Amino acid sequence: MAEAAAFAKRPLVISHTGARALTDHPRTPMMRRSRPVATRAGVVGVYFMPFLTLDSHPKAADVIAHVEHVANAQARNMSASHSIMACCQRR
C-alpha cells in the first residue's frame, strides 16, 4: 500500500477489510499498511464478511469493533475529510 500511496494522484481506498489486530487473517491488513490511505484523504471500508472473526460467524458487534479499531488507529492521521466506512450485507 505504501508503494501505491507514493504514486497515487487521488485518495486511496482499502475496501472489504478489517483490523488485523482483532483477527489475524490475510484480508485484514496491519494498520501500518492502511496508514497511507488515511494520510492521503482515503477511505477504509470494513465489510460484514466471515473473515472478521476466526469462527467465520461475525455479529454486528464484531463489525463495530473493527470499525472502532480502524478509526482509533488512524485518528492521528485523519482530518474531517477522511472516512471510515462500514458496509453491511443482509443474509
Mean pLDDT by 10 residues, the chain (91 residues): 77 83 83 73 81 90 88 62 47 46
SS (H, E, C) the chain: CHHHHHHCCCCCEEEEECCCCCCCCCCCCCHHHHHHHHHCCCEEEEECCHHHCCCCCCCHHHHHHHHHHHHHHHHHHCCCCCEEEEECCCC
Alpha-carbon dihedral sign for residues 62, 66, 68, 72: positive
Kindly state the cell numbers that stand for 78: 485523519
pLDDT reported for residue 81 = 39
For residue 42, give its domain range: 2-87
pTM over 0.85: no
Number of domains in the chain: 1
